[in-house]
Amino acid sequence: MSNAIEAEGLVKRFGDTVALDGVDLAVPKGKVLGVLGPNGAGKTTAVRVLATLLRADAGSARVCGFDVRTHATTVRGLIGLTGQYASLDEDLSGTENLVLIGKLLGLSRAQARVRAADLLAQFELTEAAGRAVKTYSGGMRRRADLAAGLVGRPEVLYLDEPTTGLDPHSRNEVWSTIRGLVELGVTVLLTTQYLEEADQLADLITVIDHGRVIATGTPDDLKRRTGGQTLQVRPTLARDVSTVAAILRDLTGEPHVDLETGLLTAPVDDPMLLSTLVRRLDDAGVTVDELALRLPSLDEVFLAMTGRTRTSEGSAA
């Protein structure tokens, strides 16, 4: 059994709204799947089905080989859930929340206390451990949510938009936490509307829109599928710009020249061009500060696949 999470043909309707319209997902053990899509694409619904909180109208799903419908309790023993919905009791302190979860999972009071203290330390919440969760900042809350999802040492972790609404600093903190978990061998399903987040964290990305999977692959696969790559060259000396432009024109086509930054960019479809370019620059005696073959951003991928930009607030599409 190589897939920790498998789902085929998941359908879920809410009245006339089709939230999931035949979704297939597969996450190999120990990998991170990023489920990417705009608001209302069906990401959260998919997580709720996979976490046994919601029954699909059609299709099936298994976690570590156990059907989420017929073996719901077993599945619940394997998963950890963190995100927009599953959260903590606001009135209780961080410690009280984690101890409660530990006791519900069958730990003795003493064991639950030790586990809570360990996790709170790991997530740098020891100082806030005794305070009510409602006094936590956004970043602290997400970290506490993550800690809560880990009390039972889950094999599979669902992270439903773990950084939505966080400032960049807190977001980076959460990202590094997630990377740490992956190193421990946890399988992660992460939903996000942030393309950068999926690119940063995920081994595989499934793009969902209107309840359907519109693309699946590695981040690089998806970018490649969207179109060619971009060559970026920045000569050390501004006077070399025209020489570089001439070489690029010769090799690829008309480059775009940014006179402000001295950066030249040109579309390429043959990666082998890079070595030719290096040789030509050498021959011309031009030194460069920057020379890169860049894949298109996931923003560009998403635009190409859904035919529209993200509707969310936040960074521009």
Partner 1 sequence: MTTATLHIGPNQAIRHGLALAGRSVIKIRKNPESLLDVTLQPIMFLLLFVYMFGGALKGSTSEYLQFLVPGLMVQNIAFASLGTGMALNADIGKGVFDRFRSMPIARSAPLVGAVLGDIVRFVITLVVLVGFAMILGFRVQTEPVRFLIAAGLMILFGLCLCWVSVWVGMLVKTPQAVPGTLLVFIFPLTFGSNVFVDSSTMPGWLRAWVDINPVTHLTEAGRGLLLGGDWTAHAGWAFVWALGIAAVFFPLALRAYRGRVG
Contact residues: partner 1, CB under 8 A: 51-55, 64, 66, 71, 73-74, 76-79, 81, 84-92, 96, 100-101, 103-106, 132, 148, 152, 155
For residues 55 and 249, which CB has a smaller minimum distance to partner 1 in the complex? 55
Q: Could you tell me the smallest distance in angstroms from the CB atom of residue 201 to partner 1?
A: 22
For residues 78 and 281, which CB has a smaller minimum distance to partner 1 in the complex? 78
For residues 78 and 213, which CB has a smaller minimum distance to partner 1 in the complex? 78
Q: Could you tell me the smallest distance in angstroms from the CB atom of residue 84 to partner 1?
A: 8
Cα separation of 162 and 144, whole Å? 11
Q: Could you tell me the smallest distance in angstroms from the CB atom of residue 86 to partner 1?
A: 4
User: Can you state the angle between helices 219-226 and 298-306, rounded to 10 degrees?
Assistant: 60
Contact 234, 288 (CB under 8 A): yes
Q: Could you tell me the smallest distance in angstroms from the CB atom of residue 286 to partner 1?
A: 57
For residues 83 and 235, which CB has a smaller minimum distance to partner 1 in the complex? 83
Q: Could you tell me the smallest distance in angstroms from the CB atom of residue 228 to partner 1?
A: 43
For residues 156 and 295, which CB has a smaller minimum distance to partner 1 in the complex? 156
For residues 157 and 195, which CB has a smaller minimum distance to partner 1 in the complex? 157
Q: Could you tell me the smallest distance in angstroms from the CB atom of residue 36 to partner 1?
A: 22
